Amino acid sequence: MRKTQPPRMENLPSTSWIKSETELADYQAALLDWYDLNRRDLPWRQNSSLYKTVVSEFMLQQTRVSTVLPYFEDWLKEFPDFKKLAQASETKVLKMWEGLGYYSRARNLHKLAKIASFWKEPPKSLLEWKALPGVGPYIAAAVSSISMNQPEAVCDGNVVRVMSRIFAISKSFKDGATAQKKIQPLAQLLISEQRPGDYNQAVMELGATVCLRFNPLCLHCPIHKNCKAGKTGKWQHYPALKAKTKKNKKIRRFWMENNNKLLLRASDEDRLMGIFELPLELPSSSEGSQISSTIIATRKRSIGNVNYTEEIYKVTSSCDEEIRLPIGYRWVEWSEMKNITLSAPHRRWINELKNKDEKNQLQ
């Protein structure tokens, strides 16, 4: 009588070299042993807690570990637990987040803290976590596995890269988000039920430090002997993501000073709501008094698949600062600039232009 494969094995891709529960256990052991010896000494892994895990996962969304590290340390000093974070003002929370971008993450983390501060016991299941502010499938799986020991697999860009390479998954995905959605069931089939949190972190750690997007360190990989892409040297073909079409967009911004104050405007875009920037438009009350405008800088940056060219015009105006400004606009004294929350590029640009202007005045 033909022996049937366990259901989990039957659902693995046809390219899988894992054919039995024993081979699956060997794969998990190799990955976990490597992780135990090579994992990075990150602050959220030191004396780990639910709060540290939640904060780190919110910060790490679409942000590099190297960028997050100083923010995480400062955040823990200011807000050591859910209760302290819940009691803080939104203004303070956003200020502490300044420079990390995607400020809706900070707002959602703040909302979650207000809920968490009343927990008798934290939620355990994936569905319960997904119901909380700002918690999508990835964070829900990360938190429930790392802090609650639930066998829920994460799937981010690192996991997609590792999975698609070790199994040589040639299917083309239109973008990273689609790839994560399609690969997640495979990641779920492979998760260690005994150490789900460590397993998830091990796969992501492998993608972040060894199975790199370019020039992967295949000879240092704990599963290189089985990795189909690594054995053939065709790692560059995986994952198969369709190239993004880049868009170009030109923006005009205005630099207007009055009595040692700079005119700023709080953004009304979802991702930067309430964060101050150089204005895209001048207040209508100042249009009649405008004398001249001169371009003083051109700055470039990319957000997602859009390349922005931002031209900054210095406006010479007789506008009286006492004129009532529209909602969102504000005259900010230079001495106060460090206290308000600015988007990171704008703080850098403002400092550069201010320093340049001061040097010119000394010459």
The span from the CA of 195 to the CA of 215, in Å, is 30
> Cβ contacts of residue 311 below 8 Å, gap of 6+?
250, 251, 252, 253, 295, 297, 298
Inter-helix orientation angle 90-97/65-78, to 10° = 150
Angle at 300 between CA 70 and CA 250, to 5 degrees: 135
Residue 304 Rama label (left phi>0; alpha psi -120 to 50; beta): left
Q: Of 153, 304, 175, whose CA–CA distance to 239 is shortest? A: 175
The active-site residue out of 10, 21, 57, 90 is 57
Phi, psi at 150, each rounded to 5°: -90, 135
Q: Of 105, 176, 163, whose CA–CA distance to 134 is shortest? A: 105
Q: Are 279 and 329 in contact (CB under 8 A)?
A: yes
The span from the CA of 59 to the CA of 39, in Å, is 19
Active site residue 257: no
Phi, psi at 39, each rounded to 5°: -65, 145
Q: How many other CB atoms are there within 10 angstroms of residue 79's CB atom?
A: 22
Residues catalogued as catalytic: 57
